Copies of this chain bind each other. A is one copy, B any other.
Amino acid sequence: MAVSKDPSVSIGSETPAQANSLFVTSLERGFAVLEAVGNERRDVGVTEIAAKTGLDKSAAQRFAFTLQALGYLEKNPATRRFRLSRRVLGLAHAYLRTDPLVELATPYLADLRQSCQKRVDLSLLDGFDIVYVVRLQSQREAFGATVIGRRIPAFCSSGGRAMLSLLPEDEARALVERSPRKPLTPHTITDVEAVMAQIARARQDGFAVCIQEALMGEIVVAAPVVDMQGRPRGAVHIAMALADHDENEVRAKFAPMAVAAARLISGGGY
């Protein structure tokens, strides 16, 4: 689920902050089970769930059973192991229908995709990562299905840097410093100062460009979407193959398109 090593779904060490009396532990445990299952590509059994969540076997059994009864998990009758059910897509759909920024941005993104003929994404900042919330594929990209919900570290994504460039310098720096900066490709810039320089450049330009930092062969330009107070709310990405377009062309031709779209969305009254 997480892009990095997966910061343990475990319950073991009681989340200290939420010792609040309103906190319903069972719910937390249920979600821990759900995420534990979701983190594995293969089906997982109750023993393994118990191990991954820190719950004992009985609890794992009960929560898995309940999630299955609710339709969020499916049980393979043959192996008696669990996997996520299509049902979880319902929540994502509800979110996408609900979020005002998504609703507002979608038509502008469609126009942008139409005019640039490249892959267009909308991402949001969430903790150390950006999350893709909308993806409009380009005509010919064969790879990557719909990566809705995918998370990428903000420090090495164009969208992340675009958004960070609008935060106060110290906030941005703090986030970069505290972020696990595991390189995603050989080209990922991980040095704090170097990343901050990229962010500074983005602040000047009004957009950020990343070259093969998240995915080999890919160049991405992103412009930030802001709310009425000027704080970053998201980012518009245009992504393409480095084989087809060099940095100069991206900055000269595509960056202004991303900026224009982001500005339209920002001004849309969100």
Q: Which residues of A are at the interface with B, using a C-beta cutoff of 8 A?
A: 1, 17-18, 20, 22-24, 26-28, 30-31, 34-35, 38-41, 61-63, 65-67, 69-70, 72, 83-99, 102, 106-107, 109-111, 114, 117, 124, 126, 131, 133-137, 139-143, 145-151
Chain B: minimal CB distance from A96 (Å): 6
Chain B contacts for A94, CB-based, 8 A? 1, 35, 38-39, 84, 88, 149
Q: Quick check: A30 and B24 within 8 Å, CB to CB?
A: yes
Mind listing 10 A-B residue pairs with CB under 8 Å?
A22-B66, A23-B65, A31-B72, A35-B94, A86-B124, A88-B88, A94-B149, A134-B146, A139-B139, A148-B148
Q: Quick check: A97 and B41 within 8 Å, CB to CB?
A: yes
Q: Quick check: B141 and A70 within 8 Å, CB to CB?
A: no
* Docked CA distance A111–B139 (Å): 11
Chain B contacts for A140, CB-based, 8 A? 114
Q: Which of B38, B85, B96, B139 contacts A145 (CB 8 A)?
A: B96
Q: Quick check: A98 and B84 within 8 Å, CB to CB?
A: yes
**4 more A-B residue pairs beyond the given contacts A27-B63, A28-B66, A96-B145, with a C-beta to C-beta distance below 8 A:** A1-B90, A31-B70, A88-B94, A110-B141
Chain B contacts for A34, CB-based, 8 A? 91
